[in-house]
A and B are shown apart, each in its own frame.
Chain A
Amino acid sequence: MAKAKSNTEDYLRMYRQMVRIRTFEDNANQLYLSAKMPGLTHMYSGEEAVAVGICEALTDDDRITSTHRGHGHCVAKGAEFKQMFCELLGKAEGYCRGKGGSMHIADQSHGNLGANAIVGGSMGIATGSALRAKLQGADDVTVCFFGDGATAQGLMYEVMNMAALWNLPVIYACENNGYSEYTKTEEIAAGSITARAEAFGIEAHRVDGQDVLAVNDLTRKLVARARKGEGPFFMELMTYRYHGHHVGDINREYYRSKAEEKEWKENRDPIIRFRAHLVSEGIATEDDLDAMNAEVEKDAAEAVAYALDAAYPDASEVDMHVFAA
């Protein structure tokens, strides 16, 4: 764990946000398994410290771009359960009026430019957002989330080159969960991932993605520097996804062992670790945290119930929003 901070409120909010993501995912998983949720979805459980550690260092004016595994980023950036569950179920009150679903939630009010189903597809968008900030003299920073698998996409190298040439306020956050779909990272990534950014002269850091304080500390420093025009930066966050690649990926022993999953879940869980830290530092009691968990669970259950009952969009919406006015 990174060094203790005195900001109790921040710590409790980070804890709560991690629990909110985990709870959201548990409910989404249930919705899917009980055949109430259409489509498919990719769980973020296990990676909470990454999204929360990073997004807690950002303001609503700072932008993020997200991935196919985007619920965690969306929650961490401030989204509400109700509109998220409505979106997952294709309901009119969803963030995107049911037109995006799990893989495309965008929440502009909190600076989330949207999840993206094209692996690596949002790297241009994030870098373009940073270019806009620089051109307009705005001091917001954009964080681009992507997986280790996405580092094999050529687009990343094109945009890192421009970001470095033009000192853009963008932070590339590579969530290295060890796999891209059903393939181990070592099988698809030659050399070191951080070295790829370093080749462009981009300062790159490797950080324990299961340690929310370490992620948050580093991000806060990098964001402050990016605001001053010292960007871009690159972070490789070592993390793990507990579920399969997507909700239907149940039998996965052919590509990763149960023992490995158990090891991460039991000994490296970001929520368990942070919880122990909060208790041992006297920031909260077990009872306080249990109460917080219960409150989040209640919120989620209510949001799910609301979303299940909510109306689908009217048929007249089908050809609405093809073009902007």
Chain B
Amino acid sequence: MREITLSQAVNEAIAEEMRRDASVFLMGEDVAEAGTPFKVLSGLVEEFGTERVIDTPISEPGFVGLAVGAAMTGARPIVDLMFGDFIYLVMDQLCNQAAKQHYMSGGKLTVPMVLRTNMGATRRSAAQHSQSLQALVAHIPGLKVAMPSSAYEAKGLMKTAIRDNNPVVIFEDKLMYQDKAPVPEEEYLIPFGVANVKRQGTDITLIGTSSMVQVAEKAAEILALEGISAEVIDPRTMVPLDEATLLESVKKTSRAIVIDEGHQSYGVTAEIASRLNEKAFYHLDAPVLRMGAMDVPVPFSPALEDLTVPTPEQVAANARKLCAGELIHAA
């Protein structure tokens, strides 16, 4: 199968959906000729024109608000938010407006829009361009949240997001745009709420999101050399969450570590770990462990920044201890 980058996969997904459905359009800062700073949308304006690939002013609340209104009245906008950190600017439009319309109207209004943005540290971008804010969005009922972990996932999830009748936020990892993966030429969609068991195992379940799937896979390789069999699962969408697959795995392995790049406190990892504790307690041989980014603003210095994000070695070390029956946070 051909291999393409995550960036190309996103681009293809959007192009295919724009060809298929005339109500889909794109807008954001520098999306047209520039194709975004990461070049993810390059070339789309040439095919679809500036009517459907719209460069906006630097007005994040404004153009996200426009997307909400366009979506409520019959269009299917895809909004490009240049950096995930700018989600703070658009919280009202996303959480008070987009997320609430369907419910508040008793099911009358729908908001079929996609907000695609990014996440992830270790790009030396410092604290205002490195955040992973998926938990912030996943907290709000009415918003769906997808986190592709490869080019294949990115394409299939994006196409599903565009066809979904709800506001969907997609977080792409900035570091993964150039990562290649096999992506079929024929059309495929990845349904929301279906986790992907990336690797089968029997001793411990490693649940990773986005780039943390790779971290989990590398940890699993390290552990395999030591005779520990780790199962690796990518939930793909935080909302809806495929709890069943996660529970099934944990019931088999009896141990789990959840890894996500959002801050540790009050984060995605806390939610997943808590659900496993609530619903699989008697199957567990150890507390479910959370591994998020450190609770610090992301530092600039490479020497410091690298310390903030979970690594395969740390995941393997924790897994090793859990499997040996050691309590990691014993008082």
A residues within 8 Å of B by Cβ? Answer: 63, 65, 94-100, 104, 106, 108, 113-114, 116, 118, 121-133, 135-136, 142, 154-155, 158-159, 161-162, 165, 320-325
Enumerate chain A residues within 8 angstroms of B97, measured Cβ to Cβ: 116, 118, 121-122, 124-125
Q: How many residues of B contact A (CB 8 A)?
A: 44
Q: Give the complex CA separation of A124 and B61 in angstroms.
A: 8
Sample (8) of A-B pairs whose CB atoms are under 8 Å apart: A63-B73, A100-B104, A106-B109, A116-B97, A124-B64, A124-B93, A158-B61, A158-B63
Enumerate chain B residues within 8 angstroms of A321, measured Cβ to Cβ: 102-103, 105-107
13 extra interchain contacts, Cβ-Cβ under 8 A, other than A124-B97, A128-B72? A95-B105, A95-B106, A96-B106, A97-B106, A104-B105, A106-B105, A106-B109, A127-B62, A128-B70, A132-B73, A161-B57, A323-B142, A324-B112
Contact of B106 among A98, A118, A136, A165 (CB under 8 A): A98
Could you tell me if A106 and B104 are in contact, using CB atoms closer than 8 angstroms? yes
Residue of A nearest to B103 (CB): A321
Enumerate chain B residues within 8 angstroms of A121, measured Cβ to Cβ: 92-93, 96-97
Enumerate chain B residues within 8 angstroms of A99, measured Cβ to Cβ: 103-106
Report, nearest first, the 7 A-B pairs whose CB atoms are least far apart: A124-B65, A128-B69, A158-B62, A97-B106, A158-B59, A125-B69, A128-B66
- In the complex where A99-B106, A106-B109, A132-B70 touch, is A325 in contact with B59 (Cβ < 8 A)? no
Could you tell me if B104 and A162 are in contact, using CB atoms closer than 8 angstroms? no
B45-61 contacts to A (CB < 8 Å): 51-52, 56-57, 59, 61
Enumerate chain B residues within 8 angstroms of A65, measured Cβ to Cβ: 69
Could you tell me if B65 and A125 are in contact, using CB atoms closer than 8 angstroms? yes
Could you tell me if A165 and B57 are in contact, using CB atoms closer than 8 angstroms? yes
Could you tell me if B73 and A129 are in contact, using CB atoms closer than 8 angstroms? yes
B114-166 contacts to A (CB < 8 Å): 141-142, 144, 165-166
Enumerate chain A residues within 8 angstroms of B109, measured Cβ to Cβ: 106, 108, 113-114
B108 within 8 A of A: yes
Enumerate chain B residues within 8 angstroms of A322, measured Cβ to Cβ: 102-103, 141-142
Enumerate chain B residues within 8 angstroms of A114, measured Cβ to Cβ: 101, 104-105, 109
Enumerate chain B residues within 8 angstroms of A123, measured Cβ to Cβ: 65
B227-273 contacts to A (CB < 8 Å): none
